Structure 1
Amino acid sequence: MDSIIFDLDGTLWNSIGTVAIAWNEVIKKSNYVEREVTERAFEQTMGLPFQEIAQKLFPELDEQKQKQILAECCEVENTYLEKHGGNLYPQVEETLKELSKKYKLYIVSNCQAGYIEAFYNYHKLDAHFIDFENPGRTGLSKGENIKLIMKRNKLKSPVYVGDTQGDFQAAQYAGIPFVYASYGFGEVEAPDYTIGTFQELKELF
């Protein structure tokens, strides 16, 4: 193993509280969404592609309106996250520091452009990572973005760490082992490895 590629939401941090505030600020100003989005509703969309998130959160809107409100919310969300951050899981910074001494670290997340940068800017963790990717920049699926990171950085034997079935399927698509972060948002059947806390990665690798 030469590298570790991480999911972000449900793996490195939980940003739902901050994201909910940002989205509901946008919703209050809109004239076509009549209800706020709850944190529970956000939890049920973790790891999904943008279009599926819009369909789940705003099923009453047509596709054009879904795309419009999603774009507006994501733009404000990045600003909020850069100012207020999210909740890092316990021992994330310390564990990343240790892992980066042995392995090359990366992030691939199903998020908009600017989201990972907001994570970096608030929590000052960018020094531990070499590269990152997301569909907001590439328009690709998570599995395709994992393969892109592998190709771009000439990785020979990475693993992917995530918390949802979609993450597992993305790792399978990329042909690499999957580490299930069971403390996150999703459930995964038959992962290659399972961790109950982030710091267990130090024992696993």
Structure 2
Amino acid sequence: MIDELKNIEYVLFDLDGTVSDSSEGITKSADKALKSEGIDVPFETLTSFISPALRVSFGRYTDDVEKRDRMLDVYRERYSEKGWCENKIYPGMAELLRDLQKSGKHVVLASAKPEYFCRKIIKYFGVEQYFDFIGGSDMEGKRDDKTVLLTYVLDNIGNPPSDKIVMIGDRKFDVECAHNHGIKCIGAKYGFSEGDELDFLADTVEDLRKMLL
């Protein structure tokens, strides 16, 4: 079954927990935002903010839309200032992206993070030249649902046949959106997965290389 991945033409990557370890910037920004509204939670639980849309994540702590949006503003203020670069690309990932492109595969980003930050982070890592398209959410929340986001990404790469595409991500949102589009999904177990969210498994970036090249 893994052998069929060798014939994939389009490789779609999630960003947080898949291309990079973004936990420091996200959790510190989420902590500040929650505390701004008097919400104090164990810091170690804040990895739940990695990958889902922020409106969804903050919505777990309040039903008050105005309160949620205030926390979102605090989060974005800190994240814009320094959280975005409290971020490390996984060892071997830059080389994998380069070699996927060299092999003729189309490398694409599909992240729930706002597209502005996706582009900024990918450029910061020095790997933007390997991507055919960088797709993220919008600030207004129109692409918060990852299935909707993936529709947007697929539209922008010409809607290739689903059997020529694979999605790589570390959370159930990545698996669900891929399956909703009839696309295979590789779980990046080295990211922030809880272990029961995945389909194909890659324990390391090197495992991804062996599957795809």
TM-score (ref. length: structure 2) = 0.81
Conserved 8 A contact 1:20-1:38: no
Task: Give the 3 Å change call, closer, same or farther, for CA 112–152 of structure 1 in structure 2.
Answer: closer
Residue equivalent to 2:154: 150
Instruction: Specify which of 139, 142, 151 is matched with residue 139 of structure 1.
Output: 142
Cα offset, 1:106, TM superposition: 0.8
Whole-Å Cα distance in 1 between the matches of residues 92 and 208 of structure 2?
11
Alignment of 1:42 onto 2:46: yes
Residue equivalent to 2:91: 90
Q: CA RMSD in A?
A: 2.4
Mapping of residues 184-203 of structure 1, within 5 Å: 184-186=191-193, 187-189=195-197, 191=199, 193-203=200-210
Whole-Å Cα distance in 2 between the matches of residues 38 and 112 of structure 1?
26
Task: Give the 3 Å change call, closer, same or farther, for CA 166–177 of structure 1 in structure 2.
Answer: same
Conserved 8 A contact 2:171-2:197: no
Cα offset, 1:132, TM superposition: 1.8
Instruction: Specify which of 59, 66, 73 is matched with residue 64 of structure 1.
Output: 66
Whole-Å Cα distance in 2 between the matches of residues 50 and 11 of structure 1?
18
Instruction: Specify which of 149, 172, 176 is matched with residue 169 of structure 1.
Output: 176
Residue equivalent to 1:126: 128
Whole-Å Cα distance in 2 between the matches of residues 198 and 120 of structure 1?
17
Cα offset, 1:26, TM superposition: 5.7
Cα offset, 1:11, TM superposition: 0.6
Query: Structure 2: any 5+ residue segments left out of the alignment?
Result: 1-7
Conserved 8 A contact 1:3-1:104: yes
Conserved 8 A contact 1:85-1:119: no
Cα offset, 1:25, TM superposition: 5.4
Task: Give the 3 Å change call, closer, same or farther, for CA 37–99 of structure 1 in structure 2.
Answer: farther
Conserved 8 A contact 1:85-1:123: no
Mapping of residues 13-32 of structure 1, within 5 Å: 13-24=20-31, 30=36
Q: Which amino acid aligns with 2:180?
A: Y
Whole-Å Cα distance in 1 between the matches of residues 211 and 115 of structure 2?
31
Q: Which moved more, 1:13-22 or 1:122-131?
A: 13-22
Structure 2 residue matching 1:160: 3-state secondary structure: strand
Whole-Å Cα distance in 2 between the matches of residues 45 and 26 of structure 1?
12
Whole-Å Cα distance in 1 between the matches of residues 56 and 27 of structure 2?
17
Count residues with an aligned counterpart.
198
Conserved 8 A contact 2:12-2:165: yes
Instruction: Specify which of 11, 32, 36 is matched with residue 18 of structure 2.
Output: 11
Cα offset, 1:23, TM superposition: 4.6
